[in-house]
């Protein structure tokens, strides 16, 4: 399944169809028929170690994320000799970038132009992003083998199969920011390799396969921007150790970061998250909302709306704030809002459960500039096109440093320090 944000305030974009990819055998270097991986991680970009969660050489690569809101996060990615800002998406695997051959990528710059490092695989790929299997934003394009590095041209580099987008449908949606309108140039997925579109690779899997970095990465999503760490995380950014919950597997071919989110508690009210046969919840940096099943959403929002401070602050906007997906302008600062409004407690796992805290402004309120706040939580009913109980998207993932410890099949949540 694949999901990502398509606009700063958008309709739900929950998942995408796409077949599973091939195995982790490395594409040969451009112009070479061999099967060895090319990977390098210069020492100059290593920023510290965290024991067993560090990179293979004892270091962790820090990548600074960008964006103009807490809905959207982009990573700097070099493909060949060109640099791009691509949506960071833990809900998908394939790297896809707008190309110079794209016939309807108006306003997207720069665009990828395959050069001497690129080899055309003479195959095409396509993906559709959205709440249905056959509709929604998407793209098609040509598959190339080329070098890629997240963090810029001097970061960890590997050779991989990626997609040069030549047609798209509502995929490149401009994001309205206080400083103007921006548009990303594509998407870089960090989901497991099994979710890659047939004929393509996952960047992080290629990197780990090359042996230069440990099989763990982490995120700290800020407002806006933040950090992505490859090979571990930076302990200077956390105020306590991560609490880990196991990654789950399913029998339906879904390859994603799935966890058992049991319940959400606020104002003394407990919302059970499981919805019928749907028990797995998706951890997805590319989703623009914290999606809960309707019953859990109703319980949580009713508890928040009943809070006296919420009523006083939101006034007549309160009853429709969550259901109307609206935005309001509030006078208090972020820290003042967190003191006034109830936070959420998320509990993972029925046995050996862990609980993490999420403040109001790092779960259900999202700042958009100028004192305006939009809802970061929405109801979504699980079903065949979205077979998850919940989707922990970017708004709620801001609450903690999230450690994707793939080597030990677990995800950790660590309380974070202030975003710089």
Q: Which domains does the chain have, with CATH numbers?
A: 15-235 (2.40.70.10), 243-415 (2.40.70.10)
Give the CA diameter of the chain: 67
- What are the residue ranges in the chain where pLDDT is below 70? 1-58, 130-135, 152-155, 176-181, 250-254
Give the contacts of 294 (CB within 8 A, at least 6 positions apart).
379, 380, 381
What count of residues does the chain have?
A: 420
| Assigned token pair, 114 | 């395959």
pLDDT digits (tens, 9 = 90+) for 228-245: 999 999 999 999 999 999
- The neighbour count for residue 175, using CB atoms within 10 Å, is 21
- The neighbour count for residue 381, using CB atoms within 10 Å, is 13
Bridging pattern class, strands 82-89 and 186-189: parallel
Q: How far apart, in whole angstroms, are the C-alpha atoms of residue 136 and residue 63?
A: 30
| Assigned token pair, 161 | 């199969």
Tell me the C-alpha to C-alpha distance, in Å, between residue 344 and each of 243, 290, 359, 365: 16, 12, 6, 11
Q: How far apart, in whole angstroms, are the C-alpha atoms of residue 420 and residue 412?
A: 22
Q: Residue 12's closest CA among 389, 380, 382?
A: 380
Task: Give the model's pLDDT for residue 8.
Answer: 25
Distance in Å from the first CA to the final CA of the chain: 32
Q: Residue 71's closest CA among 191, 181, 224?
A: 224
């Amino acid at each position: 399944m694949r999901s990502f944000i398509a606009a700063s305030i958008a309709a739900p974009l929950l998942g995408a169809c796409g077949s599973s990819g091939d195995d982790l055998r490395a594409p040969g270097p451009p112009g070479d028929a061999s099967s060895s991986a090319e990977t390098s991680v210069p020492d100059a970009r290593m920023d510290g170690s965290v024991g067993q969660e560090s990179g293979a050489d004892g270091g962790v690569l820090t990548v600074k994320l960008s964006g103009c809101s807490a809905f959207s996060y982009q990573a700097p990615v070099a493909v060949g000799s060109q640099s791009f800002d691509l949506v960071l998406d833990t809900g998908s695997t394939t790297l896809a970038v707008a190309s110079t051959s794209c016939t309807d990528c108006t306003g997207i710059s720069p665009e990828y132009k395959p050069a001497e490092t690129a080899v055309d695989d003479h195959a095409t790929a396509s993906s559709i992003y959205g709440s249905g299997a056959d509709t929604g934003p998407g793209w098609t394009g040509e598959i190339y083998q080329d070098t890629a590095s997240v963090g810029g041209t001097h970061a960890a580099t590997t050779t991989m199969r990626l997609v040069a987008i030549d047609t798209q449908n509502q995929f490149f949606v401009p994001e309205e920011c206080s400083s103007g309108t921006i548009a990303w140039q594509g998407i870089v997925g960090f989901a497991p390799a099994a979710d890659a579109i047939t004929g393509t690779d996952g960047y992080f899997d290629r990197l780990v396969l090359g042996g230069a970095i440990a099989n763990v990465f982490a995120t700290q999503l800020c407002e806006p921007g933040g950090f992505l760490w490859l090979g571990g995380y930076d302990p200077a950014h956390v105020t306590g150790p991560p609490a880990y919950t196991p990654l789950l597997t399913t029998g339906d071919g879904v390859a994603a970061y799935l966890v058992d989110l049991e319940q959400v508690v606020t104002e003394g009210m407990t919302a059970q998250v499981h919805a019928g046969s749907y028990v797995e919840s998706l951890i997805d940096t590319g989703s623009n909302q914290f999606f809960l099943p309707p019953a859990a959403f109703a319980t949580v929002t009713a508890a928040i709306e009943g809070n006296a401070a919420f009523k006083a602050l939101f006034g007549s906007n309160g009853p429709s704030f969550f259901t109307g997906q609206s935005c309001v302008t509030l006078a208090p600062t972020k820290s003042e809002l967190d003191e006034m409004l109830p936070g959420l407690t998320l509990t993972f796992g029925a046995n050996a459960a862990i609980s993490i805290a999420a403040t109001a402004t790092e779960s259900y309120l999202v700042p958009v500039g100028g004192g305006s706040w939009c809802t970061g939580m929405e109801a979504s009913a699980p079903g065949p096109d979205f077979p998850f109980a919940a989707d922990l998207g970017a708004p709620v993932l801001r609450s903690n440093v999230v450690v994707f410890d793939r080597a030990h099949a677990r995800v950790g949540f660590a309380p974070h320090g202030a975003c710089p």
